Amino acid sequence: MEDFMRGYFVSFEGPDGAGKSTVLKEVLNQIGLELKTQYLVTREPGGSKIAEKIRDIILDPANDKMDNKTEALLYAASRSQHVEEIIRPALKEGKVVFSDRYVDSSLAYQGAGRDLGIQEVKQINDFATDKLDPDLTFFLDLDPEVGLKRIEKLRPGQEDRLEQENLAFHKKVYAGFLKVKETYPERFVTVDATQPIDQVVAQVIATLKQRMPELF
């Protein structure tokens, strides 16, 4: 049942190093005051106290014996908590929720990257989120090799467990993202993340104004 005051859910996806967090921050610096409704910025994995603790387990480089299915289930568990505690209540209050990653990341990283199957990972996430999908997803498109080089430069020696995976894994993840994007063309908007950041930000803002004019 849809509430009269319906919120909007916008997610940002892309390979590691595409600049999702930076772009999201800059977009809100520019339009935060213009938005007619309150907004909430969150991230995955994490976004709530319990979900952040699960994030620490997933991304800790010391957990190198983690089974692929365990990894996928931990992401789904973190997401379930995040949705029930943070995202759904905000949407019910009519807020706009901006999330740095969401289910599509699991489909790409665990479904494709870990070879667990996109449909299989979608099923556990449908269970975890009660099939809550974003209204709009920005895919920041960047060659995974370029993304990893950016991370090495920005945070040398501080890469998390998934960032430390080899290039072959990240290429599979990227191919997974392209497949997911083809599956949900109506909500995906692709932005070339090789452009200067101000151009990426401008494109995101223009798309938000075009797709969700009632928010401005």
Q: What is the largest CA-CA distance in the chain?
A: 48
The class (CATH top level) of 8-211 is: alpha beta
Q: What is the pLDDT of residue 2?
A: 45
Please name which of 94, 133, 103, 139 lies closest in space to residue 121, comparing C-alpha atoms: 103
> Low-confidence residues of the chain, pLDDT below 70?
1-5, 156-160, 163
Instruction: Give the start-to-end residue ranges of the domains of the chain.
Output: 8-211
CB 82, CB 47: distance < 8 Å = yes
Give the count of alpha carbons within 13 A of 187, CB side only: 15
Q: What is the pLDDT of residues 1-60, one digit of tens each?
A: 344 457 999 999 999 889 999 999 999 999 999 999 999 999 999 999 999 999 999 999
Q: What is the pLDDT of residue 3?
A: 42
Q: What is the pLDDT of residue 4?
A: 46
